[in-house]
Amino acid sequence: MLMAADGRICAYPMTASDFGDGFLRVSAVRERGTPLCIGSDSGARIDPLEDPRKLEGIARWQSGSHGIISKADLPATVSSEGANSLQVSRWEPMQVDLAQTSLAGVAREHVPAALIAGCSSDVIGTELP
């Protein structure tokens, strides 16, 4: 029914970790091909780069295997699938501060992977109006 309605499952991995609410059965969701996006309502920390990394870690922990969600698919959980879940055609592109220490020496073509692999939201630039 969810997929017939073009729905998605919105996971809250940081919030679930903070409150001990239990974790989404990531393997089951992926096996069914259900679209997956990230949400957050954490009072402790909201980080659009840490949440997908945490989700992938939960999937590894639950299954004892890696690759349940590929590194290539993780960015979509906070970008295109997140936008689709809100019926927004697309998000504005993230402005990444390439001068941040955590991106030092990373070739431009590897920045998307580096963001998911180990950066926190401090690399996301903000523009003031």
Domain ranges across the chain: 9-91
Tokens of 4: 């017939």
pTM, 2 dp:
0.76
Q: Indicate whether 98 pLDDT > 70.
A: yes
Question: Which amino acid, residue 16?
Answer: A
Q: Which residue has the tokens 């998911």?
A: 116
pLDDT confidence of residue 107 = 92
pLDDT confidence of residue 119 = 86
Condensed to tens digits (0 to 9), the pLDDT of residues 12-70 reads 888 887 777 778 898 898 888 888 888 877 666 778 888 888 888 888 988 888 888 87
